[in-house]
Structure 1
C-alpha cells in the first residue's frame, strides 16, 4: 500500500469497509452462500496476531489513532490508522503500512505521515496494551460493478488478563461504487443471521482494558458546497445519519442513556430528510423506509422517555431529603418499567430488522434515489434547499397560529414540525454564512426547548398516572409529581408566546 509522504502530496490511502457480526454457528452458512462460489480466487487463510500500542494514558486511542504491529508467520507489518469522516455507514479511515523486522513499532517511520494527522499523535513512549488473535479467511469477489474482499475474522481480543470473542465478516471495497458494498451485504443478510457491527478490534481492546462502556456518537454534519447537487446532498445526509444510527448501537444495546438518545436523534433526522426531499423521491419507497424508521423510533422513544423520567424528572421533583419515601416508591416502580423498556429495545436492536433497514436504505441512497431523471438530479442543492425549507417552514407557521390557544396535542404537533424543520435546516447550514445561520438557530432552539419542556411535563404526568393505576400505593406520590409537572408545564407555556414571536421575526438563513 502506498504511503502519503507529506502534506501537499496525494492523500492517504483510505479503506472503505462494512462490518457484520455473526453467531458461533453461522460460519458454515456464510461459506456456503452462493456469492462465495463466484470468488475470483480461491480463499486465503492466515493466522494474525496483532499487538496494539499506546501511551500509558492511552492518548492514541483518545485521539482516534491506532498503532499496531501484526505478525503473520515470519512477516511483520506496522500500521497506523486514523479515524476518518463518517459520512456513510461504511467507514473510511486513513491507513499507512510499513514492513518491519521486530514485534515493536519503529516510530521513526511515522515521520512520513502527513502533519495534519501527526498533530494528534501524543508525545511519549508507547507500550503494548492489547492483542488480537485472529484466524483470517478472505475471498475476492466480483459483485455487480465492484471488486470486494470478503473477510471472516474469528478469534479473541485479549487485554489485562481478560478476553472477548471476535466473530465478524468484513466487506472491503477494492474497486467500484460503495453502493455495491451495501447491496452485497443486503443479499447475504437476507438469508444469514448477520447484524451490524461498528466497533473495531482496537475499540474492543480499549474497553476490555479500561472497563469503559461504549460511547454515544453524534450525527456529523456533512460538508456541502455550492457545487453539491441535491441528490448528492441527500446521499451525504442520509449517510451521516445512518453512520450515527449504527454507531450508537453498542451504547444503546448496553442501555447507556445518551446512546439511546443519540440513536433516536439519528432516527428522527433520517425521517426529517426523507420528508425534506419528499417531492424528489419515489413516494412508495420513501414511505416504506419512513414507516420502518417510525416503528423503531417508537421503541427508542419508550426507552428514552423512561430514562428521562428516572434520571431527570424524579430527582428534580423530589430532591434529596424531601419526600424521600415517595421518591423511593416511585423510583422503584419507574426503574422496573425502565428495565423492561430497555430489554424490549435491546431485543429489537439485536434482531434482523434494523440491519435490513440500514443496509437497504444505504443501498437505495447510494443508487438513484431521486425519481425520474429530471433536472432535480443535477440541480445544485443551494437552488433546491430554499424551496424545500420554505415548504417545511410554512407547515410550522400553520401549526403555530394562535399558539396561546393550542391544545396539548396541537402543541405536540407543532413541536414535531419544528423539530423536522430544524433537522432539515441543519442539512443545509454549510451553504450559508455562519452568522445568519447562528441567529436563526438560536430562536429555533429556544422555541423548541420550551415545547420540549411542555412535552416532557405531559409525558411525566402520563407515566406516573399509569403507574399509580397499577399500584394504588403510588397515588400520593403520583399526585405530588403531577402537581410539580403541571407547574413546569404552565411556566413554559407562559414563555411560549414571546418565543414564538421572536422565532417568527427571525429571518430564515436560507432567504
Structure 2
C-alpha cells in the first residue's frame, strides 16, 4: 500500500567545515546527534531519461528509516510529494501506474546508483518536538549505463518536520549563509549525479519565442499536452480538482485543433481531435458526478432543518459515494488503456511533425484574429437562437450548446493572447463570465434531473420526498435567474466585442 508524504527541504553545498551550530535558530533549543545512516539508492528511468526531464525521481532505496520504493513529484521549489511503497525486487504496480503516461511502452532501467553516508542531526525545541532534520551527506554516484561515470560530493540537507512552518527554513538558511554555506546549484541529488556522471554539462534547450501564427498555436497545444502528462498521476491519486483540470486541458487541445484549421491540416488533426473528445467524455463521468454531488450537498446544507424531512442526507451521501467510486475506478482503467496511451503517442507525434498549412508561416495578427472572429460569430448565432426560444427543454439544450461554443471561443482567445495582447485577454475574461453563467444554468438542469430520480427512489421506499421538491424548486429559481441575466451580459459582451 502506497503512502504519500509532503517533503519540504533545502539543499546546500558543503565543504570540510561541516554543519554550523544551529542552536538558537528560531525555536531550536538543542541539536541532537542521531548517528550515521548508510543509504543505497538505485534510480530508475527510461534510456532517454523521460522522468528526469519532467523532474520526477523514481528510486529503490535501502538503509535508513524509510527503505522502499520512492516516487517524487515536484510541487514547488523545495517542495515535493513523495509516494512510498515497501521494498520489492521490481517496480511496484502502484508506482508504475503513476509514471505510465510518460513511460508508456518504454522499459524502466537502473540509471544511477547513489550511496550516501548520512550524518543526521535533529533540531528540536524546548519540549523536544522535532522542528527539522539536518544532515551532512557524503555521496558517491555511479552511472549504470553507457561508460559508467562516477562522481563524489558532500551536501547539507535540511528537511522540515511534518506540519512545520516553512518560514523556519528561512531562519536556518540565514544562519547557514552567515557561516559561508550556500544553496546547492542542483535541485536534487539525481540531477547532480546525471550531470556529473555524464561527463558533460546538461543544459535544457531554451524554447524559441513564437513569431508566426503556427508558432503560437503549437505553443498552446504543447502547454495542453504537458498538462495532460502532469495531471495524469494526480487523477490516479484522486487529488482534488485534478480531473477537472485534466478535462479542461483536453478540451483546450481539441478546441485549438478545430478553431485553427487554417493553421493545421484537419485531415491530420481530426482523428486526434476525435480521441481527445473521447478522453474528455471519460473524464467528464467522474468530474460531472463530483460537481453535481457538491452542488446538491451544499444546497441541502443550506435548507432550514424544518424543511429536511426523511433520510435525505444519507441517501444523497450514499448516491454520491457510490456513483463517484465507480466513476473513479472506471477512469483509472481508461488511463491504463491502450487507446489512451496511443492518443498520447499520437499527440506527441503531431507536435513533433505538425501538419502546417500555408497560413502557419504568416504573422499571427490576421490569422489568429480571423479564427477567433469565426468562433465568436458562431457563438453569437447560438446565443441569439437560445434567447428567442421560450423557457423549457429546447432552450435548455440551446443554452448548453452555446456554453460549449463559448468555451471554444474562450480557449481560442487564450491561445491568441500572447500574440494579440489586451484585446484577446479581454475577450477571454468575457467568455469566462459567459461560461460561468451558462454553466450554472446547465448544472441546474442536471441537478433537477437527479433530484427527480432521487425523489422517485425515496418515494418508492416509503420515505418523505418533500425536501427533494424544495431543492427542485430552488434549482428552478437558479436557472430562471441565469436566464434573466443572460440578455444583459450578452449585450455587454457584444458592445465591447473584440476585433
TM more than 0.5: yes
1:419 aligns with 2:488: no
TM-score, normalised via structure 1 length: 0.58
Residue 384 of structure 1 aligns to a residue in which SS?
Answer: helix
1:48 aligns with 2:121: no
Distance 2:118 2:349 in 1: 34
Q: CA deviation at 1:124?
A: 5.5
Query: C-alpha offsets along residues 157-213 of structure 1, whole Å, 9 cap, x if unaligned?
Result: xxxxxxxxxxxxxxxx9899x9xxxxxxxxxxxxxxxxxxxxxxxxxxxxxxxxxxx
Q: CA deviation at 1:403?
A: 4.0
Counterpart position of 1:499: 489
Unaligned runs of 5+ in 1: 1-15, 28-33, 37-42, 58-66, 75-97, 108-118, 138-148, 150-172, 179-222
Residues 444, 476 of structure 2: 8 Å contact kept: yes
Counterpart position of 1:114: none
Q: CA deviation at 1:496?
A: 0.8
1:257 aligns with 2:270: no
Query: C-alpha offsets along residues 488-508 of structure 1, whole Å, 9 cap, x if unaligned?
Result: 111111111101111111131
Distance 1:388 1:56 in 2: 60
Query: C-alpha offsets along residues 367-410 of structure 1, whole Å, 9 cap, x if unaligned?
Result: 13224xx3x23112223101111111111111111543341111
Residues 305, 459 of structure 1: 8 Å contact kept: no
Residues 214, 356 of structure 2: 8 Å contact kept: yes
Which of the two has higher C-alpha Rg? 2
TM-score, normalised via structure 2 length: 0.60
Equivalent pairs counted in the alignment come to 352
Change (3 A) 1:262 1:99: same
Residues 224, 428 of structure 1: 8 Å contact kept: no
1:270 aligns with 2:270: no
Q: CA deviation at 1:316?
A: 2.4
Question: How large is the Cα RMSD of the aligned pairs?
Answer: 4.6
Residues 48, 71 of structure 1: 8 Å contact kept: yes
Distance 2:335 2:490 in 1: 38
Counterpart position of 1:445: 432
Counterpart position of 1:483: 473
Q: CA deviation at 1:47?
A: 2.4
Distance 1:299 1:251 in 2: 16
Match of 1:72 among 136, 141, 166: 141
Residue 50 of structure 2 aligns to a residue in which SS?
Answer: strand
Residue 71 of structure 1 aligns to a residue in which SS?
Answer: strand
Residues 327, 477 of structure 1: 8 Å contact kept: no
Match of 2:50 among 8, 18, 42: 18
Unaligned runs of 5+ in 2: 1-47, 59-89, 97-104, 124-135, 144-149, 159-169, 390-394
Distance 2:138 2:455 in 1: 59
Q: Equivalent residues in 2 for 1:43-442 (5 A)? A: 46-49=112-115, 70-72=139-141, 101-102=153-154, 104-105=155-156, 123=174, 228-319=211-302, 322=305, 323=308, 325-371=311-357, 374=358, 376-406=359-389, 407-434=395-422, 436-442=423-429
Residues 330, 477 of structure 1: 8 Å contact kept: no
Q: CA deviation at 1:294?
A: 1.1
Q: CA deviation at 1:417?
A: 0.4
Q: CA deviation at 1:468?
A: 4.5
Distance 2:419 2:137 in 1: 40
Change (3 A) 1:412 1:52: farther
Distance 2:235 2:314 in 1: 26
Q: CA deviation at 1:439?
A: 3.9
